[in-house]
Each structure stands twice: as C-alpha cells, then as structure tokens.
Amino acid sequence: MKCKRCKKPAVVGLPSHHTAFCEECFYVYFTRQVETAIRRQKMFTFDERILVALSGGKDSLTLMLALHELGYDVAGLHIDLGIYESSVRARAKVESFCEQHGLTLQVLEMEAEGLPMPDVKEHINRPVCSVCGKVKRHYFNKIAREGNFDALATGHNLDDEVARLFANTLRWDSGYLSDQGPTLPAAEGFVRKVKPLYRLSEFETANYAFLRGIEIHSDPCPFASGASFTSHKELIGELEHRSPGSKFQFYDGFLKRGREAFKMLEKEVGEELSPCEDCGSPTSVEICGVCRVKRAVRDKKAAAAQ
C-alpha cells in the first residue's frame, strides 16, 4: 500500500477514510484532525490556558504532545488515585513524559485528599469505577477553576465518544444526550470541557503514540472488571468493519442533527446550584457528592479502627 499524500510506502492504513499514510503524512493527517476539532467545536484559542488531564494512557499523552506542538498554552494534571503499584507506574509515566517535553505538571494525590480508591472500594457500597469517575471529574473542575484555566481537556477519542453515545441512545437518556459532545461550555461553577481527539479513533491514537515513541501506561486498572463499554465497543467495531466510516457518521450526525433536539427537550429542567459547604464546588444539595463520599470514608475508617 502506498501513502495517499506522497506515494511512499504506507505504515498506517485507515479503511474508514479509504486511505493510508506513511509516518510523516500520518502525523500531518493526525494534527489536522485535532486542529479541525478545535476549530469546528470552538474549543479554545492560542490566548487561552488549557489544563490537560493526563492519566498516563496513550490518548491523554498523545493529546498533550499534539497540543503542545501546535503551540497551545498547556499544563498537565495527573490524579494519583492511590491504587497500589498501578498508580505508582501511571504517575511515573506522566512525570517522565512531562519532564522530557518540558511541560508543567500538577499531581494531586487522592491519599492526601482522604479519598484513596482502595478505601473507597472498601468502605463505599457503590461500584468503585463510578465513584472514581465522579471523583476525577470533580477534581478536574476544581483544579482548573483554582488555576484560572480557560478549559479542561481530556483524551477521550472517537471510540469512547461513540460507545457513550450508543449507550445513551439505547436508553434514550435525554439528559445525557443533551450534553454529550466534544465541547461542554463553561457554566456557573464549571469550567469549559473539551475533547480534541473526538475525530480520531483509538487505533489512530494508539498508532500515533507508538510511532512517536511515547512511553505509555497500558496496564488495565486492577479495580476495573474490563474497559468501560467493552461489549458496545465490540458491536460498534463489527459495524465499522462491515461499513467503514459508520462510527464517525453516527457521532457526527448526532452533533449536527441530534443533540439540539435533546437540548430543547431538557432546557426546562435545570437545578439551582450553590457552593458545597465543605469544598465550594457547585452542588444542588448542601454537601457535594464527593465530599459526602469523603465524609463516609473517614467515618467508616474511624469506626473500623475502634
């Protein structure tokens, strides 16, 4: 197979785009997809400061490198979840990546916040993955606000977004469907959230990370029973195999024609928010969900120690 742009031997084949690229041209293609995402979805400008959430995985490190090389003003945030060796290794990957590229990094330890995930798993009677996701989103927003960042960027790729959309559509969850998308504008107490890799598949981000020699943390989380939406991703993969390009069409069509309809349906709802009494984050009750989990962990640990 030859590269579509320069006719050299191709190293990455992209059936969904009926194309293939050599290494250099793949980087050009990849970067253009990121630029298109930022421009079309009005994510941020060169004057704004972007906080990039870095897990140590291929997507977030790839995103950070692409934004940095495009000239955006980026800083990294890593949440150390305190999950034994796994978290130690993930953190080390993020730290050495940022050091290698001269990037600013802030690490927030859940142990110091009273929320290490092993304690959450032991003391909170809810699926640890959903609490962990909530805790991460809470701190992404809190740190971005405290640091006066204009936007918070995550490494979610097309496959993540399509799997989520598919799950939300199966349930016709109009609440989630109304605010799913690559850009979530800022609102009272909430920083703007963006996903600049939404046009790129997991295969593409994995190839980019590999070809660029990015050292990634790829071990699965010891607490997760499997990657989220695994069975949906399999079904969607089968669909994409039979009909290349359908994944992107499904998502892009939703952004162009579906989302607005759900927004109209949901616009009446909307709760009054006020600052959490413990941490100041916006919440519809007195103490926000994360602070309630924190209190429960603290109380149950104290009771268990007696």
Q: Which does 278 bind (CB under 5 to 8 A by kind): ligand AMP, Zn ion, none?
A: Zn ion
Q: Which does 150 bind (CB under 5 to 8 A by kind): ligand AMP, Zn ion, none?
A: none
How far apart are the C-alpha atoms of 267 and 294, rounded to whole Å?
A: 32
Question: What does the alpha-carbon distance between residue 161 and residue 36 come to, in Å, rounded to a whole number?
Answer: 17
53 binds ligand AMP per the rule CB under 6 A: yes
Q: Which of 20, 38, 50, 54 binds ligand AMP (CB under 6 A)?
A: 54
Amino acid identity, residue 223? F
Residue whose Cβ sits closest to ligand AMP: 155
Nearer to ligand AMP by Cβ, of 25 and 56: the residue is 56
Q: Which residues are CB-neighbours of 196 under 8 A, at least 6 positions away?
A: 34, 37, 38, 43, 63, 66, 67, 153, 182
- Quote the least distance from Cβ 303 to ligand AMP, whole Å: 29
The upper half-sphere exposure of residue 287, i.e. CA atoms within 13 Å in the direction of its Cβ, equals: 8
Helix or strand run (H / E) with residue 305:
helix 289-305
Which residues are 19's β-sheet partners? 14
Binding map of Zn ion across residues 260-289, x = CB under 5 A, - = no contact? ----------------x-xx-x------x-
From 1-9, 39-47, 48-56, 201-209, span contacting ligand AMP (CB under 6 A): 48-56
Burial class, 97, CB count within 10 angstroms (exposed 0-12 / middle 13-18 / buried 19+):
buried
How far is residue 222's CA from residue 81's CA, in Å, rounded to a whole number?
Answer: 12
Smaller CB distance to ligand AMP: residue 79 or 291? 79
Closer CB to ligand AMP, residue 136 or residue 294? 136
Of the two residues 252 and 278, which places its CB atom closer to Zn ion in the complex?
278
Residues in the site for Zn ion, rule: CB under 5 A?
276, 278-279, 281, 288, 291
Residues in the site for ligand AMP, rule: CB under 6 A?
53-55, 57, 59-60, 77-79, 81, 136, 154-156
